[in-house]
Amino acid sequence: MQSSAPRYDERLTAPRSWWLIAALTGVACALMMLPLGALPLLGGLAGGTVLASLLVSSYGSARIRVVGDALVAGDARIPLSALGEPEELDGEEARAWRTYKADTRAFMLLRSYVPTAVRVEVTDEADPTPYVYLSTRDPRALAAALVAAREK
């Protein structure tokens, strides 16, 4: 019986500086409403901060999990049997695969604020996707979890 407990689970949360920018967006909205009075100023502060925070939160809600016999990355669920060996990418190599080495057919869950990544070849011949690129803060642990889950 397969365990449903994740072997690897990471949430790619936005950096703290983005939350500061969301708060400053609220302040900017409040300043735009300043000529209209105190109540619109407070509405601009609250509304701008909430909207900017929702955007930051939704962008930072991507998760990568290795569960059972699948890799779950964002909305994608990829069977481990369709994947080859994972390749850990340091900062420079990850940047290369995000830019000039990138294939437009690849599945990429990337976040610009995460410098390292894992790249896994897709071995399923029926799938036109050449590889999966996943931004991760711990590429060694993700690669190890993929290898361990495939071996079971």
Asked if 76 and 94 sit in the same domain, the reply is yes
Q: What kind and span of H or E run contains 109?
A: strand 107-109
> For residue range 22-47, what is the model confidence (pLDDT) as tens digits?
999 999 999 999 999 999 999 999 99
At 151, is the pLDDT very low, low, confident or very high (cuts 50, 70, 90)?
A: confident
Give me the pLDDT at residue 5, please.
64
Q: Give the structural domain span for 145.
A: 64-151
Asked if 74 and 141 sit in the same domain, the reply is yes
At 144, is the pLDDT very low, low, confident or very high (cuts 50, 70, 90)?
A: very high
Give Cβ neighbours of residue 56 (< 8 Å, ≥ 6 apart): 14, 18, 19, 21, 22
Asked if 45 and 97 sit in the same domain, the reply is no
Asked if 53 and 72 sit in the same domain, the reply is no
Give me the pLDDT at residue 133, please.
96
Q: Over the chain, what is the mean pLDDT?
A: 91
Strand order in the sheet with 117-122: 83-89, 117-122, 131-135, 107-109
Asked if 102 and 147 sit in the same domain, the reply is yes
Q: How many helices (H) and strands (E) does the chain have?
A: 4, 8
Residues 15, 21: Cα–Cα separation, whole Å: 10
DSSP-H helix ranges across 60-119: 91-98
